[in-house]
Copies of this chain bind each other. A is one copy, B any other.
Amino acid sequence: MQEFTKFPTKTGRRSLSRSISQSSTDSYSSAASYTDSSDDEVSPREKQQTNSKGSSNFCVKNIKQAEFGRREIEIAEQDMSALISLRKRAQGEKPLAGAKIVGCTHITAQTAVLIETLCALGAQCRWSACNIYSTQNEVAAALAEAGVAVFAWKGESEDDFWWCIDRCVNMDGWQANMILDDGGDLTHWVYKKYPNVFKKIRGIVEESVTGVHRLYQLSKAGKLCVPAMNVNDSVTKQKFDNLYCCRESILDGLKRTTDVMFGGKQVVVCGYGEVGKGCCAALKALGAIVYITEIDPICALQACMDGFRVVKLNEVIRQVDVVITCTGNKNVVTREHLDRMKNSCIVCNMGHSNTEIDVTSLRTPELTWERVRSQVDHVIWPDGKRVVLLAEGRLLNLSCSTVPTFVLSITATTQALALIELYNAPDGRYKQDVYLLPKKMDTNGPYYQGPVHMNHTTLKEIFFKITFIFFLFLSS
């Protein structure tokens, strides 16, 4: 257990997930806006709610919102054909029969499709939210109505957060044998509170960078006691979430917050990895003049061959209309840069966490902050110059745009496949280590710091077959 104590302290660690949480708060998810205005301020923990089948094995904001949530799930299903086809294909075999999955993820319509797929494949599920703000209450209600043991609502307190996780893990007569985690909080809780549960656990599937990082550290320290599957670094997540998804969300995020016209704008994109490539392709296509900063010479050469001028940030900082960071590094945009930007320059972050823009440096007395819209601050210099800061430097795509269901579908399918593989693998195939889905296609990812093994003969085969199914759906 000691391993986890070396990690950031609870507050520190959670703060990482908070930086995501907060941004999710003001998400544009249209659905949320329908029902959240309910001013029912009684805590869900104090309510007695029962679904139409008489079950009370859940805790959500308002079970009556189930019908509306069901509609959102149905809309999501229509763009998640891979999962639906997986349901159909595997329904006879029930490859998850006997699986008892405890999960902790964002609770949205898309996750609901994943959870219900797992159920359709034979699993029993208990679920909590990995973020205190991101739960779509009506979706949680729909899941509860459908019989899933879900414990989550929008606006949990920190105490609520752990209480929900605990309710999922700690239930008489039910013991989890699989973990699906997003951020590592659930895994952490089990390690800390119920270490014996790991005796039954056949594997952990983890999606986030943070969670994967924790797993690798556990593994390094020899404390990882079950096999774990790193979904975050899978080809499909890296390639599709990053490249293709960012290609769309950069436009969406900028448009929803600032209504800026892209044509003719001068934009500097810091970093030409997959995220940068996606951002640049979209902006170039819509008529922006795009500059790149890049320290990796190969990526710089690619940028060059793709027709972008590679510059130092200082060279162009005075002339650009938009600055976008996607390097994965810290303090890429410094106060000095911010001082030199021209009036009404837009600054935002598509990269890692909230560290790329040195936002802290803007919290000084001589600068005035003005919140002009949700997620949009004008930072005003003494001479009247305004810099338009989006999402306070947090991830633009999480804060200010929606993620296309289709992309989430790919990641969700990968999670389902990883669960199936780990659950059905013969003893000995996976050791107490962190495994990876085939990465044939991954290009710019960081080198893996932990032990990485691939299992081509089984996982890859299943994976490719299923991927092909998506593809058939797409092209049909």
Residues of A within 8 A of B (CB): 28, 30-31, 71, 75, 78-79, 235-236, 239-240, 244-245, 247-248, 251-252, 255-256, 259-264, 266, 281-282, 284-290, 296-302, 304-311, 319, 343-344, 370, 372-374, 386, 401-407, 440-444, 447, 464, 467-468, 470-471, 474-476
Q: Closest chain B residue to A370 by CB distance?
A: B71
Q: Of residues A28, A264, A467, which shows the largest number of chain B Cβ atoms within 10 Å of its Cβ?
A: A264
Q: Is the CB of B309 within 8 A of A289?
A: yes
Q: Is the CB of A319 within 8 A of B476?
A: yes
Q: Is the CB of A305 within 8 A of B78?
A: no
Q: How far is the CB of A42 from chain B (nearest CB, A)?
A: 24
Q: Is the CB of A247 within 8 A of B286?
A: yes
Q: How far is the CB of A256 from chain B (nearest CB, A)?
A: 7
Q: How far is the CB of A111 from chain B (nearest CB, A)?
A: 15
Instruction: Kindly list the 8 A-B residue pairs having the minimum CB-CB distance in the complex, ordered from nearest.
Output: A285-B285, A261-B404, A263-B305, A297-B468, A264-B304, A297-B467, A78-B344, A261-B406
Neighbouring B residues of A443 by C-beta, 8 Å: 440-443
In addition to A71-B370, A441-B444, 19 A-B residue pairs with Cβ atoms within 8 Å of each other are: A235-B298, A240-B301, A240-B305, A244-B263, A247-B263, A247-B287, A248-B263, A251-B255, A252-B255, A255-B402, A259-B402, A259-B403, A266-B309, A285-B285, A287-B304, A287-B307, A298-B464, A302-B441, A319-B476
16 contacts between A and B (CB under 8 A): A30-B259, A31-B373, A240-B305, A244-B261, A247-B263, A251-B255, A259-B404, A261-B407, A282-B285, A284-B307, A285-B285, A289-B308, A298-B467, A299-B441, A301-B474, A311-B475
Neighbouring B residues of A299 by C-beta, 8 Å: 441
Q: Closest chain B residue to A447 by CB distance?
A: B440
Q: Closest chain B residue to A302 by CB distance?
A: B239
Q: Is the CB of A467 within 8 A of B301?
A: yes
Neighbouring B residues of A308 by C-beta, 8 Å: 289
Number of copies: 4
Q: How far is the CB of A439 from chain B (nearest CB, A)?
A: 10
Q: Is the CB of B244 within 8 A of A300?
A: no
Q: Closest chain B residue to A438 by CB distance?
A: B298
Q: A252-B255, A285-B285, A444-B440 are in contact. Are A471 and B372 (CB under 8 A)?
A: no
Q: Closest chain B residue to A309 by CB distance?
A: B289
Q: Is the CB of B252 within 8 A of A304?
A: no
Q: Is the CB of B304 within 8 A of A471?
A: yes
Option from B79, B304, B370 in Cβ contact (under 8 Å) with A263: B304
Q: Is the CB of B305 within 8 A of A404?
A: no
Q: Is the CB of A372 within 8 A of B75?
A: yes
Q: How far is the CB of A378 from chain B (nearest CB, A)?
A: 8
Option from B298, B440, B467 in Cβ contact (under 8 Å) with A440: B298
Measured between alpha carbons, how far is A274 from B308 in the docked complex, in Å? Answer: 20
Q: Is the CB of B470 within 8 A of A301?
A: yes
Q: Closest chain B residue to A386 by CB distance?
A: B78
Q: A30-B374, A240-B301, A300-B468 are in contact. Are A309 and B259 (CB under 8 A)?
A: no
Neighbouring B residues of A304 by C-beta, 8 Å: 263-264, 287, 471, 474-475
Q: How far is the CB of A122 from chain B (nearest CB, A)?
A: 25
